[in-house]
């Protein structure tokens, strides 16, 4: 046997004395350490998973509830209120003038929300200060005409089935950036199941690359 | 690279003989593009002027003295050989500025810029400006800001974009109309439309029906004296600033006066005489 093999077999002299100093079966220190690690991990994990999104986003209720499903049923389609103007720009959230095509300051239905609309906004000739879920940051230029007219896309691809909703969910604003939560998406991990779950720059770029073969130059979407 | 056969190459010709130095271009540019200003604008060192008017003189004393004014927007350089390798684009470590091969316009993305100012150093035309402060608008004035141009924040670089938002809107209109073509008058920069003397002409240098193309007559072949230079004007009155650097600006200047054309570059003794009658490959034919 070589000197080296001798050493490995019997362990080093130092190691032997160390092992003898403590009872090898007494591992409560290790157990407590593991428990502490698991508990701390769970606290951090859960606070990150559950608490952080609540801290990050502030919630705003819409001025009053808007029933998309009812309006689609009455008017027929999205374009009745959300339309392209003659100069190619998109009307986005309709102004009061569009609402007044049908509404007056007398409510047509019996909901409390319409009563608020009629008394607070129509009667006082004020625009409704809606929060816009799909609002992109200020530096973004988005052309609805390019996507609807040139690419022939439908509303659902980016906006989801909002036309079937009967209630307005609270608007969530990122406290740090001021952006709508819909940009990052509801899922805090950024996991995307539907094409409308998230609308970050990467999501635009992925689709552009697939459809046009190029993700585009900066100024295609920035201003 | 988008392979578009009908790629545009937007450019400008500025007739220095028509320019009176009134500064309308600067003012219209500032209001169009939400350019911030300081409470005290007397210190011009850190003023932001996307479109800046320089005063040139022939250096002679009265009665032979002559003066001309030279408006200077971003030159939207195509870089050596006009391949999109602009000085600023090639140095930006953040890809906050890129060359649009579809329009020939050099972008600047404020949210991506982190303010290292390398591009300002690389720009031979001093066309780039740094925001030392957050913009502060006098009360009520923020309501007059253009919604089509994003205001900048402290710590980023900005520059002329050839009013790119106007191109975006013109393209949007073209999509809506189903034409997919942008007419010459559908996309014009703010300075062009504001100039009372009509000294600024803007359009697509690649489109022979556009006025800029007809005036500049850009030479598609590399300059035989300097292969890096492409698009040299075949019009003897037209020149570009520091043309021999090979930055290939898309802003051309025009003057009848030889001393003005000579001020477009720094010539050593005798150099001007050799090149003054050289109009690109055409003059070698």
DSSP-derived 3-state class of residue B222: strand
Domain count, chain B: 1
Give residue A104's pLDDT: 85
Q: Answer whether residue A36 is part of any domain.
A: yes
Hey, is the C-beta of B148 within 8 angstroms of any chain A C-beta? Answer: yes
Query: Is A77 within a domain?
Result: no
Residue A51 counted as domain residue: yes
Residue of higher predicted confidence among B72 and A1: B72
pLDDT band at residue A188 under the 50/70/90 scheme: confident
Q: Which residues of B touch A88 (CB under 8 A)?
A: 169, 172-177
Report the C-alpha gap between B18 and A198 in whole angstroms: 52
Residue A16 lies in a domain: yes
Alpha-carbon distance A115 to nearest alpha carbon in chain B (angstroms): 32
Q: Is residue A74 part of a domain?
A: no
Query: Per the domain annotation, does B1 fall within a domain?
Result: no
Residue A123 belongs to some domain of the structure: no
What does pTM read for this prediction?
0.87
Integer Cα distance of B199 and B211 in angstroms = 12
Whether residue B2 lies inside any domain: the answer is no
pLDDT of residue B5: 53
Residue A62: the pLDDT is 94
| pLDDT band at residue A108 using 50, 70 and 90 as cut-offs | confident
pLDDT of residue A15: 45
Please indicate whether, in this complex, the C-beta atoms of B173 and A87 are within 8 angstroms of each other.
yes
Q: State how far the alpha carbon of A126 is from the alpha carbons of A75, A80, A97, B142, B193, in Å.
A: 23, 21, 10, 21, 36
Confidence class for position A1, pLDDT limits 50, 70, 90:
very low
Report the domain count for chain A.
Answer: 2
Position A8 confidence tier, pLDDT thresholds 50, 70, 90: very low
Does B186 touch chain A if contact means CB atoms closer than 8 Å? no
Cβ separation B101–A218 shorter than 8 A: no
Whether residue A139 and residue B178 make contact (CB cut-off 8 A), yes or no, is: no
pLDDT, mean over chain B? 92
Buried b or exposed e, range B197-229, using 16+ CB within 10 angstroms: eebbbbbbbbbeebebbebbbbbeebbeeeebb
Give yes or no for residue B194 having a pLDDT over 50: yes
pLDDT tens profile A22-39: 566 677 888 899 999 999
- Residue B129 inside a domain? The answer is yes
The answer to whether residue A208 sits within a structural domain is yes
Residue A223 and residue B164: Cβ atoms within 8 Å?
yes
The C-alpha atoms of residue A56 and residue B10 are separated, in whole angstroms, by 44
Residue B5 lies in a domain: no
- Does the distance separating the beta carbons of A212 and B173 come in below 8 Å? no
Tell whether B150 is within 8 A of chain A (Cβ).
yes
Residues of A with CB below 8 A from B180's CB? 150
Residues ≥6 apart with Cβ < 8 Å to A52: A188
The mean pLDDT value for A134-139 works out to 92
* Domain end marker among A58, A80, A97: A58
Give the pLDDT mean for B33-44: 90
Cβ(A180)–Cβ(A173) below 8 Å: yes
Contact B103 A88 (CB under 8 A): no
Contact B172 A89 (CB under 8 A): yes
In a domain, residue A119? The reply is no
- Considering only CB atoms, which residues of chain A are within 8 Å of chain B? 84, 86-89, 137-139, 141, 143, 145-146, 149-150, 212-214, 216-220, 222-223
For position A22, what pLDDT does the model report? 56
Contacts of A106 by beta carbon, 8 Å cutoff, 6+ apart: A118
Q: Residues near B108 by Cβ (< 8 Å), separated by ≥ 6? A: B96, B97, B128, B157, B158, B159, B161
Task: Report the CATH number at residue B205.
Answer: 3.30.70.20
* A45-94 per-position pLDDT tens digit: 888 778 888 888 999 999 999 999 999 998 888 999 999 999 999 998 99
Please answer yes or no on whether A138 and B150 come within 8 Å at the CB atom: yes
Judging contacts by C-beta atoms under 8 Å, the chain A residues touching residue B186 are none
DSSP B23: -
pLDDT for res B45:
86
> In terms of residue numbers, what domain contains A44?
3-58
User: Which of B95, B102, B176 faces A84 most closely, judged by CB atoms?
Assistant: B176
Comparing CA positions, the residue from B170, B252, B240 lying closest to residue B215 is: B252
Nearest C-alpha of chain B: how many angstroms from A201? 12
Mean pLDDT of the region A158-178: 92
Range of the domain at B198: 10-284
Find the mean pLDDT for residues B170-194: 93
**For residue B172, is it within any domain?**
yes
Chain B stretch 27-66, residues whose beta carbon is closer than 8 A to a beta carbon of chain A: none
**Beta strand residue intervals within B148-214, DSSP E:** 157-158, 200-204
The residue among B150, B172, B177 with the most chain A CBs within 10 A of its CB, best to mutate, is: B172
Out of A84, A219, A223, the one facing B100 most closely (by C-beta) is A219
- The Cα B118–Cα B76 span in angstroms is 17
Q: Which of residues 156-185 of B touch A (CB under 8 A)?
A: 161, 164-165, 168-169, 171-178, 180
What's the whole-number mean pLDDT along residues B165-188? 92
B4 found inside a domain:
no
| A71 to chain B, closest Cα gap in Å | 26
Q: Which of A136, A213, A219 to mutate to test the interface with B (most CBs of B within 10 A)?
A: A219
């Amino acid at each position: 046997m070589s000197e080296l093999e001798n050493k490995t077999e019997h362990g080093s002299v130092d190691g032997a004395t160390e092992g003898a100093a403590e009872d090898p079966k007494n591992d409560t220190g290790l157990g407590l350490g593991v428990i502490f690690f698991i508990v701390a991990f769970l606290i951090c994990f859960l606070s990150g998973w559950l608490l952080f999104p609540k801290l990050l986003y502030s919630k705003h209720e819409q001025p009053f509830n808007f029933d998309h499903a009812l309006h689609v049923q009455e008017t027929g389609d999205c374009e009745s209120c959300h339309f392209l103007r003659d100069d190619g720009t998109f009307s986005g959230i309709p102004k009061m003038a569009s609402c007044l095509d049908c509404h007056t300051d007398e409510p047509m239905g019996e909901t409390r929300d319409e009563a608020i609309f009629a008394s607070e906004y129509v009667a006082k000739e004020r625009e409704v200060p809606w929060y816009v879920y799909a609002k992109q940051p200020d530096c973004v230029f988005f052309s609805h005409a390019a996507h609807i007219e040139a690419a022939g896309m439908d509303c659902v691809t980016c906006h989801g089935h909002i036309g079937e909703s009967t209630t307005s969910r609270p608007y969530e604003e990122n406290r740090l950036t001021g952006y709508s939560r819909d940009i990052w998406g509801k899922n805090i991990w950024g996991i995307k199941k539907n094409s409308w779950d998230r609308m970050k720059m990467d999501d635009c770029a992925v689709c552009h690359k697939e459809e046009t073969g190029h993700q585009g130059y900066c100024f295609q979407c920035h201003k | 690279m988008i392979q578009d056969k009908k790629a545009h190459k937007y450019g400008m010709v500025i007739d220095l003989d028509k320019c009176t130095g009134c500064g309308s271009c600067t003012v219209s540019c500032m209001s169009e593009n939400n350019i911030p200003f300081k409470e005290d604008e007397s210190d011009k060192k850190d003023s932001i002027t996307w479109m800046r008017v320089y005063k040139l003189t022939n250096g002679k004393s009265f009665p032979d003295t002559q003066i001309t004014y030279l408006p200077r927007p971003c030159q939207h350089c195509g870089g050596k050989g006009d391949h999109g390798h602009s000085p600023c684009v090639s140095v930006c470590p953040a890809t906050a500025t890129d060359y649009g091969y579809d329009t020939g316009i050099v972008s600047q993305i404020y949210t991506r810029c982190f303010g290292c100012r390398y591009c300002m150093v690389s720009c031979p035309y001093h066309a780039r400006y740094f925001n030392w402060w957050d913009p502060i608008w006098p009360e009520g004035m923020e309501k007059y800001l253009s919604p089509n141009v994003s205001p900048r924040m402290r710590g980023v670089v900005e520059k002329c974009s050839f009013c790119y938002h106007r191109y975006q809107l013109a393209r949007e209109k073209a999509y809506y109309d189903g034409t997919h073509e942008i007419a010459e008058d559908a996309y014009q920069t703010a300075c062009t439309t504001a100039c009372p003397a009509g000294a600024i002409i803007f359009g697509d240098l690649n489109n022979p029906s556009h006025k800029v193309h007809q005036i500049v007559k850009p030479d598609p072949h590399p300059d035989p004296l300097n292969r890096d230079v492409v698009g040299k004007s075949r019009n003897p009155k037209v020149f570009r600033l520091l043309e021999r650097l090979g930055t290939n600006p898309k802003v051309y200047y025009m003057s009848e006066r030889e001393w003005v054309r000579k001020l477009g570059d720094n010539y050593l003794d005798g150099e001007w005489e050799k090149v003054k009658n050289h109009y690109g490959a055409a003059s070698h034919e």
